[in-house]
Amino acid sequence: VLNLLYEAYGFPGAMPRPDMDPNQVLSAPQATLMATIAKGIFNNSMDWSYILYGVIFGIIIIIIDVFLKKSTKNLSLPPLAVGMGIYLPPTLQMPLVVGAVLSYVVNRYLRKRAEVRSPQNVANDVDTCNRRGILFASGMIVGESLMGVLLAGVIVVSVTSGGSEAPLRMVSDSFGDTAQWLGLLVNILLIIEFARRVITAKLNK
């Protein structure tokens, strides 16, 4: 699968064909990070000061997280979330932020509703709705991943047979701005549908 994605899109700093647009490569921050560290160690070009700064910063974040959990009821500073925010590009961070805000808003609504319709079993009410949301979100993630692999397969078959790198293109490059607005609209509709499915989940009897 990785080789298929590489042949179709390429990765930052590693493109299978010289005529490929470096701005269109598949973003792989985790792989890029590990490759940078490996190259730095084997080529003896690693700037160890960054590693030291990372260790110190990580210890500080852990201390703050422990302090917040002990001194407050609902506040924390997860070190993993901070680390992801540092090395993930903004294009990948935005869905995480939107998902976190959506989760917070929906959970508040579910808890308030559960206190009214099932005051004796608030936790089960909220968990039942959240479980449906997790299944729906997991399905969208898996579906998107499978479609990405299938599209990569179509691109590789087209390129190896002498065809275009965009065999499914239906519009010109000038459609880019309109496509972005359409993509935003589709995302908003998905968010609304996601929240609706979570809120309308039926309780187990």
Check whether 31 has a pLDDT greater than 80. Answer: no
Asked if 28 contacts 175 with a C-beta cutoff of 8 angstroms, the reply is no
Q: Report the C-alpha gap between 35 and 151 in whole angstroms.
A: 26
Closest of 158, 155, 162, 167 to residue 8, by C-alpha: 155
Listed as own residue / partner, the contacts of 31-40 with beta carbons closer than 8 Å and 24 or more positions apart are 33/87
Q: What is the mean pLDDT of the chain?
A: 86
Check whether 22 has a pLDDT greater than 70. Answer: yes
Alpha-carbon 47 to chain mean position: 29
Asked if 32 contacts 13 with a C-beta cutoff of 8 angstroms, the reply is yes
Q: What angle do CA 132, 134, 138 make, to 5 degrees?
A: 120
Q: Report the C-alpha gap between 46 and 34 in whole angstroms.
A: 12
Closest of 13, 64, 59, 19 to residue 35, by C-alpha: 13
Assign 118 a pLDDT band (cuts: 50, 70, 90): confident
CA distance to 49, 89, 122, per residue, from 191 (Å): 42, 22, 25
Asked if 111 contacts 126 with a C-beta cutoff of 8 angstroms, the reply is yes
Q: Taking every pair of C-alpha atoms in the chain, what is the biggest distance, in angstroms?
A: 66
Check whether 41 has a pLDDT greater than 90. Answer: no
Residue 170: predicted pLDDT: 82
Residue with tokens 């609209």: 185
Handedness of CA 85, 89, 90, 95 (dihedral sign): negative
pTM across the whole model: 0.71
